[in-house]
Amino acid sequence: MAPKLPPQQPLQTPAEQGNDGAATAGHVNEGYHHGPSGLMRWLLTTNHKEIGTLYLIFSLSMFFIGGIFALVVRAELFQPGLQLVQPEFFNQMTTMHGLIMVFGAVMPGFVGLANWMIPLQVGAPDMALPRLNNFSFWLLPVAFTLLLSTLLMPGGGPNFGWTFYAPLSTTYAPPSTTFFILSLHIAGISSILGAINIIATILNMRAPGMRMMDMPLFVWTWLITAFLLIAVMPVLAGVITMMLMDINFGTSFFNAAGGGDPVMFQHIFWFFGHPEVYIMILPAFGIVSAIIPTFARKRLFGYASMVYATSSIAILSFLVWAHHMFAVGLPLVAELFFMYTTMLIAVPTGVKVFNWIATLFQGSISFETPMLFALAFVVLFTIGGFSGLMLAIAPADFQYHDTYFVVAHFHYVLVPGAVFAIMAAVYYWLPKWTGHYPNERLGRWHFWTSVIGVNLTFFPMHFSGLAGMPRRIPDYALQFADFNMASSIGALLFGTSQLLFVLMIIKCVRGGEKAPAKAWEGAEDLEWTVPSPAPLHTFDTPPQFHHREG
């Protein structure tokens, strides 16, 4: 599917798009851009805006594939008993849903936004390493084609959960696991290269006059996220390589019979996995910190403390991994250590929420769609934070662990958290990308159906978990039936309402109310100084940045 969005020109008619011949109008305008056209243009592009678009389209496609898997899971759980799928396939669906959403939808979504917006926000002409940028994107379709193809292999795809605990994922795994490992390796390389590129861009290519403490928070949060990525993706690569050795070369890293330790797998996985959780939420903090001041028409409260809080969260994220393992039989000292560090993380996270609310206080607030999503983020992410605080209490975690309460918790921080932030960002920056405002009516419909759907899906999971329903089961006892039926109905509503999102994007690309350079009245950052839609090449001459005083 060739993306129909050449960002360098306003789209006049679909007919003109069809003949994207050797010399389109856009290319003529850009005297020195002599790239290939058609499919090869997208395959070989080194332009940060085009690569950003590719990432976002990829992320959206994966969001739908992962969403369909989730709907299979929810359909089976609509009623007690096995109706639609057998447990083998059910386990593959839960596993693939998690893997695709984490590695295929949320992470590439944020990288796409980073590609588009970081150069624009720091006043750079492009990413620091454009060819590497192209390579890191095109690794992703390879990785995920490979991953999805395992579903068709004998023995089926990965069926051991997205956390793939050994030895279920080694000795007891289907033969396709080796392909799963290779695909994660490729996705991991893509992430590392992307992170290197982002760091190089932010540290070296800021506009003259822009100091670190002048950078927009989206840039700050991504800088910290990129360091986290570089720190932990090699850990993931290490653990899956150990799995590979255990499966194919007779080692016993995680096989107790050979002197290995299955718990060591969990330690290594979560040493990657917990910072990974913050990789999926820190850029969201940056997005919300851009949107709320814009629509409150008031400067972000506590900019410096936002930067400090982000750094604190990043550092603490390396010290809390074993709170995912309170029930594996850790020594008492370890339980206490990880309980205390986990509780500490609540402080910087709370500070962020307080800062957003203080920004709203005495503002001049309007409620365009990006703002609606950002506000829903603040409320619903905070609810996810509350359940996180409850989970931090180690004794209580023995009751919560591996139940639907945990499922409710991490979906609250990831769906109305990370995913809503990405959607808010899309609504916020679409005028810059396409030159048109998104359709406000469609946006509102999409927003309200999503909010209702998300809460109907995930709120009852708190109750089913507390009532005793374990996660990752294809069938359940009768007392959980009502909660599950509500969740399934909510999931269907949330899933189908995303079609409105796609419809809105298509309409916005094709036309709509024209947006000026500064599309939102209260917007302040550098991206709003270039025309809408942003031409293919921006900031060829670095802008002079004037930081705000007082």
* Cα–Cα distance for residue pair 549/299, rounded to 1 Å: 12
For 309, the token pair is 């809080």
Question: What part of residues 255-274 is at the interface with another protein (CB under 8 A)?
Answer: 255-258, 260-263
What burial letters (b/e) apply to 520-544, b meaning 16+ CB within 10 Å?
bebbbbbbbebebbbbbbbbeebbe
Q: Is 394 one of the binding residues for another protein (CB under 8 A)?
A: yes
Binding residue for another protein, selected from 42, 58, 180, 303, defined by CB under 8 A: 303
Active site residue 48: no
Q: Is 448 one of the binding residues for another protein (CB under 8 A)?
A: no
Binding residue for another protein, selected from 43, 84, 203, 379, defined by CB under 8 A: 379
Distance of closest approach, residue 464 Cβ to another protein, in angstroms:
9
Q: Give which of 208, 255, 283, 240 is closest to 545, Cα–Cα.
A: 208
| Residue 286, amino acid | G
Binding residue for another protein, selected from 237, 319, 452, 489, defined by CB under 8 A: 319
Sequence-separated contacts (24+) of 350-353 with Cβ below 8 Å: 350/385, 351/302, 351/305, 351/306, 351/309, 352/285, 352/306, 352/309, 352/310, 353/378, 353/381, 353/382, 353/385
What burial letters (b/e) apply to 79-93, b meaning 16+ CB within 10 Å?
eeeeeebeeebbbbb
> 50, 246, 276, 397: which is the annotated catalytic residue?
276
Binding residue for another protein, selected from 16, 386, 441, 502, defined by CB under 8 A: 386
Q: Which is nearer to another protein, 61 or 255 (CB)?
A: 255
Q: Which is nearer to another protein, 28 or 333 (CB)?
A: 333
Binding residue for another protein, selected from 276, 335, 525, 527, defined by CB under 8 A: 335
* Cα–Cα distance for residue pair 141/517, rounded to 1 Å: 33
Active site residue 434: no
Active site residue 289: yes
Q: Give the phi and the psi of residue 514 in degrees, each rounded to 5.
A: -70, 140
Distance of closest approach, residue 535 Cβ to another protein, in angstroms:
31
Q: Which is nearer to another protein, 12 or 386 (CB)?
A: 386
- What DSSP designation does 543 have? P
Q: Is 452 one of the binding residues for another protein (CB under 8 A)?
A: no
Q: Give which of 302, 221, 216 is closest to 524, Cα–Cα.
A: 216
Q: Is 312 one of the binding residues for another protein (CB under 8 A)?
A: yes
> What mask of x and - would describe binding to another protein in positions 395 to 414, judged by CB under 8 A?
xx-xx-xxx-----------
* Cα–Cα distance for residue pair 210/544, rounded to 1 Å: 8
Active site residue 30: no
Binding residue for another protein, selected from 22, 23, 152, 304, defined by CB under 8 A: 304
* Cα–Cα distance for residue pair 320/337, rounded to 1 Å: 8
Q: Which is nearer to another protein, 176 or 439 (CB)?
A: 176
Cβ–Cβ under 8 Å, residues 527 and 117: yes
> 94, 170, 183, 191: which is the annotated catalytic residue?
191
Active site residue 220: no
With CB under 8 A, what is the number of residues at the site for another protein?
109
Question: What part of residues 181-210 is at the interface with another protein (CB under 8 A)?
Answer: none
Active site residue 436: no
Binding residue for another protein, selected from 296, 374, 451, 491, defined by CB under 8 A: 296
Binding residue for another protein, selected from 14, 36, 38, 175, defined by CB under 8 A: 175
Q: How many whole angstroms from its chain centre is CA 392? A: 23
Question: What part of residues 66-95 is at the interface with another protein (CB under 8 A)?
Answer: 80-83, 87-88, 91
Q: Is 336 one of the binding residues for another protein (CB under 8 A)?
A: yes
Q: Which is nearer to another protein, 152 or 304 (CB)?
A: 304
Q: Is 160 one of the binding residues for another protein (CB under 8 A)?
A: yes
Question: What part of residues 238-257 is at the interface with another protein (CB under 8 A)?
Answer: 250, 255-257
Q: Is 340 one of the binding residues for another protein (CB under 8 A)?
A: yes
Q: Is 138 one of the binding residues for another protein (CB under 8 A)?
A: no
Q: What is the DSSP string of 180-207?
A: HHHHHHHHHHHHHHHHHHHHHHHHH-PP
Helix (H, G, I), strand (E, B) or coil at 394: helix
> 48, 53, 116, 126: which is the annotated catalytic residue?
126
Active site residue 276: yes
> What mask of x and - would describe binding to another protein in positions 349 to 378, judged by CB under 8 A?
-xx-xx--xxxxxxxxxx--------x--x
> 201, 349, 359, 538: which is the annotated catalytic residue?
349
* Cα–Cα distance for residue pair 406/246, rounded to 1 Å: 30
Distance of closest approach, residue 299 Cβ to another protein, in angstroms:
4
Residue 171 burial by Cβ neighbours in a 10 Å radius (0-12, 13-18, 19+): middle
Binding residue for another protein, selected from 337, 445, 459, 545, defined by CB under 8 A: 337
* Cα–Cα distance for residue pair 68/72, rounded to 1 Å: 6
Largest CA distance in the chain: 69
* Cα–Cα distance for residue pair 399/422, rounded to 1 Å: 33
For 431, the token pair is 């005028």
Helix (H, G, I), strand (E, B) or coil at 514: strand
Question: Hey, which residues are catalytic here?
Answer: 97, 126, 162, 190-191, 274, 276, 278, 289, 323-324, 349, 352, 471
